[in-house]
A and B are shown apart, each in its own frame.
Chain A
Amino acid sequence: MSDPGADLSTAPATPVVPIGFRGWLRWMWRALTSMRVALVLLFLLALASIPGSLFPQRGSKPTEVNAYLAAHPKLGPLLDRIGFFNVFGSAWFAAIYLLLFISLAGCVIPRTRLHLRALRARPPIAPAHPARLPGGIAWVSSLPLAELGPQVLVAAADTLRAKRWRTDHVELNSEVAPKASGFVSAEKGYARETGNLLFHVALLVLLVGIGIGSAFGWKGQVIVKEGGGFANTVTQYDTFTAGRLVNQSNLPPFTVHLDAFDITYQAGGPQNGEPLYFAAHVTSSSAPGASATSAAITANHPLGIGTARVYLIGHGYAPHVVVHDRQGKVVFDDLVVFLPQDGNFTSQGVAKIPDMTPQLGLQGIFLPTAVVDPVRGPISVFPAAQDPALFLSAWRGDLGLNSGVPQSVYRLDMTHLSRISIKALRPGDTWTLPDGSGTVTFAGVAQYATLSVADDPGKGIALASALTAVVGLMLSLSVRRRRLWVRVSNSGSGGTLIEVAGLTRADSTDISAELASLVEGLRGVAPETKE
């Protein structure tokens, strides 16, 4: 498609007059596979991608989509209905790229056939008078044609073959002078069309690779606290998406355990608080009971288990909260995941303790390096846990866990709760609730890692085809298809006329250098005679 090959186009020179249904089909097929329509589809594809970059997308930023819908109650649902929040999964986006790929296939298949035929065909015969072509060169040598002609043609054919031209050598014909003549025709640069076809076929294969990935691939995200772990089953993931053809009950049964999370931050300077290094130290095994191996997952270095890979995509703090009831019985003892709100890890989280009467909800802000700002209130000024503090507010009442409505683990449903008190805790502090219903202890703080686990069986195909496409592109954009002819004939004065010329198919490319080098060699065989 990227070749100026009007001569290779499969489109008819004059529009086909559609006759009946089959005529229409044929017309539609011709139109779809024409370069003009392909161009329009290409631009539509670019245009259709734009909203996907300007509006939040459900796949990557679901919370922002909801925020947008809430902020734009009129426009939001309209945009939602036409798929602006899921552009790359929308029907119209798929329609554009599918039509484009059909058009591509319709172009590539006939061109492959033509190209295979061209690869087997002989180079075209020389024009009667090559010197009349632009850039053509001619000279006369005094030796007679019958003697010199074959020598020149052999020399030309040998030189061109040595330079990997495909040549066709036609001996002097038997006709007598003045019409006796012979020629060598040569063609080179078939790799241009080979590369061009390779590129387009590779794009088709790339689409197949993407398709395999979306049908057989799966991806899960899970928060793992230090000392905790997960097994690769759907229920253990916080979010899980899988292709249509994935057997979700039969995922590879590996397990991953987070031994420790390690992080260092830049202290001081303009980049104060920027992370310098982080790593999740894990122990994994390919199946329950199989031998365990230790590894560190860092940015850019996922852990491979079988065909799946485990990526570290986030981290945060999980304060250790212990709650005793009035009788001193432990009713809650857990690391509570707090979600970071800013670069210094000012974090928010909640703990729900249903096993008390009335039920207890704790809403908190965790600060790794706590400062109480007179304006902004309690905030963290450094992301490392240098001076941690936990600000808790306690709520009593009905947590609403039995209402049947699914709840976020990061938010309290305040409908049937009332606040009883607030308190700032340092590690080790215990807070006796003012109504005497129990105590809350901030026992310490651990870290958690957000791990993403993914398996994309199509990515190898996608990579191989993408790299093939680059090779094809380089061939099709750098190689030039060109033809050369050498013709020998009677000069009319008893000598030999040698004519050399070349043509290129690509516009404004230059074969004068190749022509000159050939001529130089031939002048050695057939020196020019000044008349």
Chain B
Amino acid sequence: MPSDATLAQLSNILVYASMTAFTVAMIAFAVSLAAGRGKVAEVVAEPALVGGGQAPAPLQMPAPLLASGRRSGNVGMSLYWLATTFLALGIAARGLSAHRLPWGNMYEFSCAAAFAVSLVFLVISLRRDVRWLGIFVVLPVLLTLGLAVTVLYSTSGPLVPELHSYWLGIHVTAAILSGGSFCVSGVVTILYLAIERIDRRVAAGLTPGRLGFLVPKVPTADRLDTLGYRIIAFMFPLWTFAVIAGAIWAESAWGRYWGWDPKETWAFITWVIYAGYLHARATIGWRGRRAAYISLLGFAAFIFNYYGVNLFVTGLHSFAGVG
């Protein structure tokens, strides 16, 4: 059995290895996306294959059109699996070195969040072809990990007694998984806004613009919108549960289930904005672009709750372990 210090060191090496693999995956995805750039004009709109009484299969994403793009997309996916495995092992080694769940400070939350984003992406990739999404997901993952190892790093060690609770496993896991899903959904939503804008330009007789090369590579605006919605619809109950689990824990730790601590307040704000998003999608006049902005606002609130509240606002949730 290796010593705790060795395990902690191994964990760091694995996290760096995963960052390397994510970076190479990013390059592969970028190559895949760039392949065929400049040939947009030649791409003819797919003929409508809807006849014959067959319903269009919803959300079946288009494969990258060109063989070169497909190959590098596959390389990207393989590397993505490898990177995520490294990250999972790194997180596990960290937990073993400290003899506890490895989410007790911001460095560890960030590693877990990067893993959650990757996990959500990979789970979706098992059901649909989402190679086109790879590069857009790997960017926030690398950014999160980069911040984790540079700004937020803290050495492996025991938890403060307040975190000695099985609710740490339940509440924090649910929150991190929700955050990972919100992130993937946010990425899809930004892409939706880009494609929707190109569609409008084309409809108005303008050129597609600088991002026009994306159009044949990614799904239609409608499908992006639906995918972004599905992820949130699937994960919003989990986020609700994360907040409730936090309230149950708060009741046993601090003697009240809700006290408008800054972290609680921003969890509430995030919840309300996403609830607004779900309602907006069902309201005429709010669908589409407006709903997309609301979804991004929800993600912004989530991110502020993580970085902003942890680092700049003092409250009962001060477990950042930074500085």
Chain A interface residues (CB < 8 Å from chain B): 1-6, 35-36, 38-39, 42-43, 45-46, 49-50, 52-54, 57, 59-60, 87-88, 131, 134-138, 210, 219, 266, 269-271, 274-278, 298-302, 309, 311, 313, 452-454, 456, 459, 462-463, 466-467, 469-470, 473-474, 477-478, 507-510, 512
Contact = CB atoms under 8 A, between A and B. Distances in A.
A298 B161 contact: yes
A274 B105 CA distance: 14
17 contacts: A2-B279, A36-B286, A46-B269, A49-B272, A53-B265, A53-B309, A271-B158, A300-B252, A311-B254, A311-B255, A452-B255, A456-B256, A470-B237, A473-B240, A508-B226, A510-B58, A512-B55
User: Most B CB atoms within 10 A — which of A6, A53, A274?
Assistant: A53
B62 interface: no
B234 to A, nearest CB: 7
Given A60-B259, A300-B162, A507-B226, A46 B272 contact: yes
B140 interface: no
Contacts of B146: none
Contacts, number: 164
A270 B251 contact: no
Contacts of B265: 49-50, 52-53
A274 B281 contact: no
Q: Give the size range of B's interface with the partner.
A: 35 or more
Chain A interface, >50% SS class: mixed
A53 to B, nearest CB: 4
Nearest to B155: A270
Closest 3 CB pairs of A and B: A135-B55, A53-B265, A311-B255
Nearest to B157: A271
Nearest to B283: A35
B244 A470 contact: yes
A509 B254 contact: no
Contact of A137 (B53, B266, B268, B282): B53
B260 A60 contact: yes
Given A42-B273, A269-B157, 16 more contacts: A39-B279, A42-B279, A46-B269, A46-B273, A46-B276, A46-B301, A49-B269, A53-B262, A270-B154, A298-B161, A299-B162, A300-B161, A302-B255, A473-B236, A478-B234, A512-B55
Dominant secondary structure of chain B at its interface with chain A: helix
A301 B252 contact: yes
A43 B278 CA distance: 13
A311 B249 CA distance: 13
A463 B250 CA distance: 12
A134 B251 contact: no
Contacts of B222: 508
B234 A477 contact: yes
Given A43-B273, A313-B254, A463 B233 contact: no
Given A53-B262, A266-B158, A300 B253 contact: yes
A277 B279 contact: no
B164 A1 contact: no
Interface string B150-180: 0000110110111011010000000000000
Counting chain A CB atoms within 10 Å of each CB, the highest count among B161, B273, B279 belongs to B161
A289 B87 CA distance: 59
Contacts of A271: 155, 157-158
A298 B252 CA distance: 10
Contact of A2 (B234, B258, B282): B282
B57 interface: yes
Contact of A39 (B54, B233, B269, B276): B276
Given A302-B252, A477-B233, A52 B158 contact: no
B285 interface: yes
Given A54-B313, A274-B160, A454-B256, A510 B55 contact: yes
A6 B279 CA distance: 12
B257 interface: yes
Contact of B249 (A3, A266, A300): A300
Contact of B247 (A135, A466, A478): A466
Given A53-B266, A54-B313, A135-B54, A473 B280 contact: no
B86 to A, nearest CB: 25
B129 interface: no
A302 B254 CA distance: 9
Interface in B232-246: 233-234, 236-237, 240-241, 244
A75 to B, nearest CB: 19
A42 B58 CA distance: 31
A45 B272 contact: yes
B255 A313 contact: yes
A53 B57 CA distance: 46
Interface in B81-97: none
A386 B299 CA distance: 48
Contacts of A38: 279
B248 interface: yes
Contacts of B43: none
Contact of A4 (B154, B226, B282): B282
A478 B235 CA distance: 11
Nearest to B256: A454
Nearest to A36: B283
B160 A275 contact: yes
A302 B301 CA distance: 32
Interface string B53-90: 11101110000000000000000000000000000000
